[in-house]
Amino acid sequence: MNNTLQTIFNHRSIRKFTKEKLTTEQIYTIVRGAQKASTSNYMMAYTIIGIDDEETKEKLATITGQTYVKDNGHFFIFCADLHRVYNQASKTVQEKMQVNMENTEQFIVATVDTALAAQNAAIAAESIGLGVCFIGSIRNDIKRVDEILQLPQYVIPLFGLAVGYPDQKPEQKPRLPLDVVYHENKYDHNLEQIKRLISEFDQQIRSYYQKRSTNTRTNTWTEQMIRKYCEEVRMDITQFVKDKGYNKH
């Protein structure tokens, strides 16, 4: 297995970092790595905001409920951004652009561009000995994050990425069986087979949770997923995204 595959296959989320801060060189390597990702129609429809201001980190940690949002080597927030392109146009041209900007197509473009860049950032960071953790919980109070970062129209804070030197060695979390996730030529509607594979995975996960060194628990993947989807979560996101100018018609 080559070094790149080793980096990819060795991934685990790190939730405890040493106090050591990233150097500017490390930050730039990560950001430049992110920029190398493919981008839809060359739009590069994202902005990455690096947070090292302690007060801002404190606020974000409160919103997310995760201490490693402030206790890390550097914190990045990945934002979908079509404001940059919009802003290059005159008022008259902006009016013409409006109908596209408001189409869900452009929300897909910006979200996918941002995530491709972010995964490159994660791999780049891990390749130089750093650990990472994606932070979706900045969406716990997306309006507040929007205010803190002073984001203009057409810019949405999608997720954070905490980066730093690992101060823990967590087990690697299993993944769904390949045959559940990978289908051939069309969607696999063999529900019996899929359910059987997921059921085997559920047993594996129950045993993983019981054996792991921290935060042991007893439920299965299916139980976890169903519980999560039965609790209403972040119900303000649909309206927030619309208010930002996306997904409107």
The mark string for 27-56 relative to a copy of itself (x by CB under 8 A, - otherwise) is -xx-xxx-xxxx-xxxxx-xxxxxxxx--x
Question: Which residues, numbered 75-94, are part of the site for a copy of itself (CB under 8 A)?
Answer: 79, 84-89, 93
Is residue 194 near a copy of itself by the rule CB under 8 A? yes
Give the interface segment with a copy of itself, choosing from 62-70, 109-117, 162-170, 210-218 (CB under 8 A): 109-117
Is residue 232 near a copy of itself by the rule CB under 8 A? yes
Is residue 100 near a copy of itself by the rule CB under 8 A? yes
Which residue in the set 18, 62, 97, 170 belongs to the binding site for a copy of itself (CB under 8 A)?
A: 97
Question: Which lies closer to a copy of itself via its Cβ, residue 67 or residue 190?
Answer: 190
Question: Which residues, numbered 5-24, are part of the site for a copy of itself (CB under 8 A)?
Answer: 5, 7-9, 11, 13
Is residue 168 near a copy of itself by the rule CB under 8 A? no
Give the interface segment with a copy of itself, choosing from 15-23, 64-72, 168-176, 211-219 (CB under 8 A): 168-176
Structure tokens at 218: 């007893």
Which residue in the set 16, 18, 62, 115 belongs to the binding site for a copy of itself (CB under 8 A)?
A: 115
* CB 248 within 8 Å of CB 102: yes
Give the interface segment with a copy of itself, choosing from 15-23, 65-73, 100-108, 211-219 (CB under 8 A): 100-108
> Residues with Cβ < 8 Å from 36, sequence gap 6 or more?
120
Q: How many CB atoms lie within 10 A of CB 12?
A: 16
Reported as type and span, the H/E element at residue 118 is helix 104-127
Amino acid at 164: G
Q: How many CB atoms lie within 10 A of CB 28?
A: 11
Reported as type and span, the H/E element at residue 64 is helix 54-64
Report how far residue 148's alpha carbon sits from residue 46's, in angstroms, rounded to the nearest whole number: 18
Q: Which residues face 162 on adjacent strands?
A: 75, 133
Which residue in the set 65, 91, 178, 215 belongs to the binding site for a copy of itself (CB under 8 A)?
A: 178
Residues in contact with a copy of itself, total (CB under 8 A)?
114
Which residue in the set 61, 69, 130, 148 belongs to the binding site for a copy of itself (CB under 8 A)?
A: 148
Q: Work out whether strand 74-81 and strand 46-51 pair parallel, antiparallel, or are unpaired.
A: antiparallel
Is residue 25 near a copy of itself by the rule CB under 8 A? no
Rounded to 5 degrees, what angle do the CA atoms 158, 159, 165 make? 160
Sign of CA dihedral 130, 24, 120, 106: positive
